[in-house]
Amino acid sequence: MRLSRLAFPLSTIPIFVAGFATGQSTQRSKFAKYREPAYITKMDWELMHVNLSALQIKAESDGTTAPNIYFDWDANKVKAKILVDGKWLGSKPANELRGSLLADELIAFTYVQQRLPEVSEDDFEVEFINQSPTARVNEFETSSHGI
Query: Checking phi first, is residue 16 left (phi over 0); if not, alpha (psi -120 to 50) or beta?
Result: alpha
Q: Count the Cβ atoms, other than its own, within 10 Å of residue 89.
A: 19
Q: What is the pLDDT of residue 66?
A: 85
Give the pairing of strands 68-72 and 77-84: antiparallel
Which CATH topology does 42-143 take?
Alpha-Beta Plaits (3.30.70)
Task: Please tell me the number of Cα atoms within 13 Å of 95 on its side-chain side.
Answer: 0
Q: What is the pLDDT of residues 52-85, one digit of tens each?
A: 877 766 665 678 888 889 998 888 899 999 989 8
Q: What is the pLDDT of residues 9-52, one digit of tens each?
A: 556 666 666 665 555 555 666 667 767 888 899 999 999 988 88
Q: What is the pLDDT of residue 145?
A: 55
* Domains in the chain: boundaries: 2-32, 42-143
Distance CA 73, CA 47 (A): 13
Query: Interhelix angle for 42-58 vs 94-115, to 10°?
Result: 140
